Amino acid sequence: MQLDLVSTTMRYPVSIGLDPGEHTGFAVYDRVSRRFSELREISFETAVWEITEKYKAAIIVIELPNNKSVWHKPGAGGLAAIQRTAVNVGSVLREAELLKRSLQYFGKRKGCDYEIRTVHPQGKVDAARFERITGHSGRSNQHCRDAGLLCWGV
């Protein structure tokens, strides 16, 4: 088992977490040093460009919103709020799919080796809990922390 972990670390020296949305969380976890080398917000286009230009081999984890249902708390805006939430979830779901397809397409054209995974969100964490989990004490916002948790320890 240990040999398998070493061989995958050599094949994929970094894991990248992407939390798509209007503000895309972007995290790069160095699997050798076991530290984040990047943790920030970027645009969709910048994410595709940076990954395909900087990283020729990586495990990429993209968060997919839970699209099974759109629920809303009673008294929190009614039908209009439910519809806005549904549109937002649909937009993020589409962006996640486009990120995956773009990275596969451009990565293949550039000879990159990506293992792309999609996962559903596990819940939000504040900065203090993020530091306890990952050891990262630098600045972060919710999008960055979400992306960081996707790729941390992968």
Number of domains in the chain: 1
The DSSP secondary-structure symbol of 73 reads: -
More confident residue, 3 or 59: 59
Q: Are strands 24-30 and 35-42 parallel, antiparallel or unpaired?
A: antiparallel
Query: Which SS3 state, helix, strand or coil, does residue 128 take?
Result: helix
* Amino acid type, 22: E
pLDDT at 120: 85
52 neighbors 106 (Cβ within 8 angstroms): yes
**Phi and psi at residue 93, to the nearest 5°:** -60, -45
Provide the CA 130 distance to its chain's centre, in angstroms.
15
What average pLDDT does range 38-64 have in this prediction?
95
Residue 57 sits in a domain whose CATH number is 3.30.420
Using a pLDDT cut of 70, give the percent of the chain over it. Answer: 88
pLDDT at 1: 46
Range of the domain at 122: 2-151
pTM of the shown model: 0.86
Q: How many CA atoms lie within 13 A of 151 on its CB side?
A: 33
